Structure 1
Amino acid sequence: MSKYNSDPAWASVTPIPLDDGSNRFTQADRENAAGDDAMTTANVANETLPLATIAYSESYAEATAYLRAVMATNEMSDRALALTEDVIRSNPAHYTVWYV
């Protein structure tokens, strides 16, 4: 169950999902681009596919999507502070969240 999406306190925030480029191309695009000259990355339509994507847990991906949203609006509130704490507890190495 999603922690933030189902919380009425966060209803006014539109989360910003991570865009690592992995959803831009179909599997067929990836297979067609993986020719002999594609050693570690594939170039499709002049864009480079991500080398690797990280499989974040659903709860962490949701929290960071809301974090990107509050950072984009420069929100300074108790709920933003609680969100920041949640992300830090989930991943203390996430250096961007320490900036908030």
Structure 2
Amino acid sequence: IELYNVKVVVLKPFRLGGIDKVQTAIDTLKSHGVKVVIGGMYEYGLSRYFTAMLARKGDYPGDVTPAGYYFEQDVVAHSGILKEGRLEFRPPLVDITQLQPY
């Protein structure tokens, strides 16, 4: 970290290996004075929910998209709904019927 004088790091939770790995990375980076941004990828509601929860630990607004931005159908309902300019997240409930085709 010191070798490259890193000031800010963008972490992608599911690219890095999941919630526990990101939490460890956040703790390590912050202990070295590095600021953190949590960003998403092309995610369904379930992973988008956890990305948003992790983004609360970041130093800058996270990169999380609203429901329906990338996918018309999702395995969870009411996760990442755009409401009055803010994303509203509720604990995700998986809609089993959305999994039937797979």
TM-score range, shorter chain: under 0.3
More helix by share: 1
More strand by share: 2
Larger radius of gyration: 1
